[in-house]
Structure 1
Amino acid sequence: MQMRLTRKLIFAFLIGSGLVPVANVSAEPAAGLSSTEQANYLHELKRLYNTQDERKALLAHVNKLLLTYALRAGYQVGQADRNDLIYSVALGAQGELLLREETRGENSSDIAVRNQRIDVFGVDPFIRYDCPTSGISCSLNNPVTGNKMITIVRDNNGAADLAKAMSYLIRNVQKG
């Protein structure tokens, strides 16, 4: 949102100073994801997961992506403490998502589980992610705090797909 405001202010300044002719300025596209894109995306997910319930399709897709891009010990070559990081998302109370993080030691007998509640009411639904070029993982950020919420294997496209699906899920849960 801050980026859109900055862009609008820059355009206003450029137009006001005469550096950019008004005829060359096109309307800014709708912020985020368009409603037709969302409708097509949800239609395909409902078809893929054979359900008419958008929320069930989104949950199934998010959980499938979380399994597909899980950061496994096998990817962590050269790391001292290699663990599998496996996540899943479920619905909690109204307006709440439950995030489950399971950490498995390399020998698979050590398991630690951490649960996190994410209240989505009043939150920007867009999930931001970061895939540093010098690492083995990508992280998706908590929409409430901005802190790292999920760690997956380093895959830009996978992180983008997961962030998109999570964003749509948050939007859906915000509807009530």
Structure 2
Amino acid sequence: MLLTRKRRMPAPLSWLAGLVLSCSLVGVGHAQSLEPEHEIRRLMLATEEAVSAERWSEAGEYLNRLQVMKGEKPAEYLYYRGRAMLQAKHFNEARSALEGYVSRVGADGKHYQQSLKLITDIEKQSKANARALVEGNVVVKEPVAVIEPAGEEGLASLRKLYLAKTDREALTIHLNALLDANGWRKDKTVVRLDRPADIQYRVTINDSELTVQQVRREIDGTLVRKTSPLPVYGVNPQPRWDCEAVVGACWIYDPRDGSRLFQLAHNPAKVSEIARTLGRLIRNLQQGSAGN
């Protein structure tokens, strides 16, 4: 009977196979550990390709990875983020990103003209959504911050805190204090208490409507003041708001048409309180003299 012996791989060949496997694993490791500047560039190229092919889910994945990476990202990151957010119908975030792109590149930017057109389209759509929401014709699916009704205990505390005679007076003082502390600044690295914010607001009551004054500090230090009325009757006393970390700002939206009413520092907790206080004041004015 002929016996067949099982051949074994010679030791040198086994060692060589292990070396090839080790080298393959090392190669994979190097592919996943590019320096940040090269990884950002790689993901930007992948994002550009995905957006051009309208593969929005894929583009969103790359953009999310870029968002958490340290290191400076090219201005085109904001453009592609705006495109992806617009496709997802997150109009506020899309507008913020596109405006950030325009601010960084100016008129010489590759996507400057297209960004301006998209911003205009977003503005039209936002106003249409706001009108439809007021008329009750449609449910807007964009995330909306819900403002809870004010309780009597909270109003009593505010009157006591500010030594105010009425709820209306207390709410107005509190709103202006919050606005003063959360103005928007171009330089977000250092906040100096002795230097006012670049954009500030003050709200006053004129008869039965609010008056909003915006004070904008220009580069040369001059102040530009703009005052506009805000009638309260027939408007939703639950102002919408949102924040965008990419551009370092939060916004509270005009309850009449969905346009931007306040541009504030990126502090969601404080902006939520500002929106809630504004809503309480609007509701108070809607109640007429009984709200005093």
Regarding TM over 0.5, the answer is: yes
Q: Secondary structure at the match of 1:60?
A: helix
Which gives a bigger RCO, structure 1 or 2 (Cα 8 Å, sep 6+)?
1
Following superposition, the deviation at residue 107 of structure 1 comes to 3.9
Matched, 1:121 2:233: yes
Matches of 2:220 and 2:152 in 1, distance apart? 44
Runs (5+) with no aligned partner, structure 2 = 1-132, 140-145, 191-196
- How far apart in 2 are the matches of 1:162 and 1:89? 12
CA distance in 2, matches of 1:119, 1:136: 29
The answer for the alignment partner of 2:201 in structure 1 is 87
User: TM-score with structure 2 length normalisation?
Assistant: 0.45
Report the Cα distance in structure 2 between the residues aligned to 1:32 and 1:157, rounded to whole angstroms: 13
Gaps of 5+ in 1: 7-30, 78-82
- Find the structure with the greater CA-based Rg: 2
Are the counterparts in 1 of residues 217 and 223 from structure 2 also a CA contact under 8 Å?
yes
Query: C-alpha displacement at 1:123, in angstroms?
Result: 0.9
Determine helix, strand or coil for the equivalent of 2:239.
coil
Distance apart, 1:73 and its partner CA: 3.6
- Maintained 8 Å contact 1:73/1:106: no
Percent of residue pairs identical: 26
Distance 1:125 1:105, change over 3 A: same
**Alpha-carbon displacement from aligned partner over 1:137-160 (angstroms, at most 9, x marks no partner):** 100000111111000000000110
Choose from 35, 51, 58 the match for 2:171: 58
How far residue 60 of structure 1 moved from its aligned partner, in angstroms, is: 0.2
Does 2:262 correspond to 1:150? yes
Greater fraction of residues in strand: 1
148, 165, 168: which is aligned to 1:33? 148
Deviation, structure 1 residue 133:
2.8
Which position in structure 2 is the counterpart of 1:69?
A: 182
**3-state SS in 1 of match to 2:280:** helix
Taking the aligned partners of 2:169 and 2:219, their CA distance within structure 1 comes to: 33
The Cα shift of 1:72 comes to 2.5
Q: Give me the whole-angstrom Cα distance separating, in 2, the residues matched to 1:106 and 1:128.
A: 30
* Offset, 1:105: 1.9
Equivalenced residue count is 142
CA distance in 2, matches of 1:119, 1:165: 16
8 A contact 1:84–1:106 mirrored in 2: no
Deviations 1:111-137 (A, max 9, x none): 111111111001110011010232211
Q: Indicate conservation of the 8 Å contact 2:147/2:275, yes or no.
A: no
SS of corresponding position for 1:86: strand
Deviation at 1:164, TM superposition (A): 0.6
The answer to which structure has the higher helix fraction is 2
Tell me what 1:17 maps to: none
CA–CA distance in 2 between the matches of 1:171 and 1:133? Answer: 30
Q: Which amino acid aligns with 1:163?
A: A
Tell me the SS of whatever aligns to 2:198.
strand
